[in-house]
Amino acid sequence: MPRTISPPKTPKDSLHRQGYNFIAAGSSAAVKPCMWCKRALRGGEQCYKHQFYGIESWRCVQMTPTLRCNQRCLFCWRSMEHEITEEVELDPKEIIDAIPRVQRKGLSGDKPWSDPDRWETATSHPNQYAISLSGEPTLYSRLPELIDLLREAGNSVFLVSNGTVPEMIQKVRPSQLYLSLDAADANSYAELCRPAGDPTIMWGNIQRSLGMLRQKEEEGVRTAVRTTLVKGYNDGSGAASGIAALIKDAAPNFVEIKGYMYLGYSRTRLPETAVPQMDEIRSFASHVAEHAEYQILDENAPSRVVCLVRKP
């Protein structure tokens, strides 16, 4: 059965305890060095983005320009009892200028155990930005400007979005664009992702965003679709076939099939039995690959993810 976890007094209270460092008062723009960044600083294993895409994990900044979100996904680790609905939007340059200071603060406790050169590079010269920490980044009205400024400075930018704001997807030019696709139809989307707006409209918006991926590739943006596999919800053969059909039409460069992990406040909504085993993730990925005309590129068992690449 799902657990009972006391909600935080405020969203920021909980996130501060989890290692989030906020850029400024009144804003939810935040940075949090991830576990893989810290392991890589010590010469340990790097995250699957290194394995699949060549990213140096110790030079990666995991951040978000906003914690606001327009979905309440069952598998999300966030507390949804306390949501940020209003905040001060920061100027993109203010966010970028603050990142070295905030990243250094987040990694200060790791310095004694880190490779000195890697730690200095990580805190002074990061070159990879994962806009994926929490919230839905396309709700930040100046996202295109933020991404452009980061890329103009020579950085790689990975943007992860739920695809519900296609007008913003149209405008952004990250190095790699991830769109989440966690259901095969509007009804299963409403059940699993629990959109804040009309599910039919939101699902239609996701279809519009998926339809932009070919154009994005023409613009020089590498594209990916990510499916979070939740056992008992979207892991059946019908869901796999439906998701595969949508992927085939969208034709992203890559597809990631990633197993749900029993973490954070998702444990209050889902039982531990909703976690798929690695062989089940492989099987689902193989089904999608076969029906969408993709092939398996690689897998990473610790992160419970299988990566597919479009057939030439």
Hey, where are the domains in the chain? 11-310
Task: Say if residues 74 and 269 touch (Cβ distance below 8 Å).
Answer: yes
Residues 6 or more apart whose Cβ sits within 8 Å of residue 304: 258, 259, 261, 276, 278, 281
At 83, the pLDDT band (50, 70, 90 cuts) reads low
Give the whole-number percent of the chain exceeding pLDDT 90. Answer: 85
Check whether 7 has a pLDDT greater than 60. no
Judged by DSSP in three states, 26 sits in coil
- Tell me the pLDDT tens digit for each residue of 249-268: 999 999 999 999 999 889 99
DSSP-assigned states of every residue in 209-269? HHTTHHHHHHTT-EEEEEEEE-TTTS-SHHHHHHHHHHHHHH--SEEEEEE----GGGGGT
Tokens of 97: 């200028």
Give the integer Cα–Cα distance in Å for 104 and 102: 5
At 9, the pLDDT band (50, 70, 90 cuts) reads low
Tracing tokens 């987040």 back to the chain, one arrives at 106
- Tell me the pLDDT tens digit for each residue of 124-166: 999 999 999 889 999 999 999 999 999 999 999 999 999 999 9
| Ramachandran angles phi, psi of 275, nearest 5° | -80, 120
What pLDDT is recorded for position 4?
59
Give the integer Cα–Cα distance in Å for 181 and 186: 11
Q: Kindly report the pTM of this predicted structure.
A: 0.94
Judging by beta carbons within 10 Å of its beta carbon (0-12, 13-18, 19+), is residue 241 exposed, middle or buried?
middle
Nearest to 211 by CA among 181, 162, 166: 166
What pLDDT is recorded for position 81?
62
Nearest to 246 by CA among 297, 203, 187: 203
Judged by DSSP in three states, 197 sits in coil
What pLDDT is recorded for position 19?
79
Contacts 24+ apart (CB under 8 A), 122-125: 122/37, 122/41, 122/58, 122/59, 124/100, 125/59
Give the whole-number percent of the chain exceeding pLDDT 70. Answer: 94
Nearest to 260 by CA among 223, 287, 235, 294: 235
Residues 6 or more apart whose Cβ sits within 8 Å of residue 158: 49, 55, 128, 129, 130, 131, 132, 174, 175, 176, 178
At 87, the pLDDT band (50, 70, 90 cuts) reads confident
First to last CA, the chain: 45
Q: Which residues pair with 156 in a beta bridge?
A: 128
Check whether 82 has a pLDDT greater than 70. no
Tracing tokens 């978000």 back to the chain, one arrives at 64
Nearest to 21 by CA among 31, 34, 10: 31
Check whether 300 has a pLDDT greater than 60. yes
Domain 11-310: state its class.
Answer: alpha beta
* Chain mean pLDDT for the chain: 93
Check whether 167 has a pLDDT greater than 80. yes
At 270, the pLDDT band (50, 70, 90 cuts) reads very high
At 89, the pLDDT band (50, 70, 90 cuts) reads very high
- Tell me the pLDDT tens digit for each residue of 175-187: 999 999 999 999 9
Residue 123 Cα to chain centre, angstroms = 22
What pLDDT is recorded for position 26?
83
- Tell me the pLDDT tens digit for each residue of 191-208: 999 999 999 999 999 999
Judging by beta carbons within 10 Å of its beta carbon (0-12, 13-18, 19+), is residue 151 exposed, middle or buried?
middle
DSSP alpha helices (H): ranges in the chain? 11-17, 35-41, 48-53, 92-107, 116-124, 143-152, 166-171, 186-193, 199-210, 213-218, 237-250, 278-292
What pLDDT is recorded for position 241?
98
Check whether 8 has a pLDDT greater than 60. no
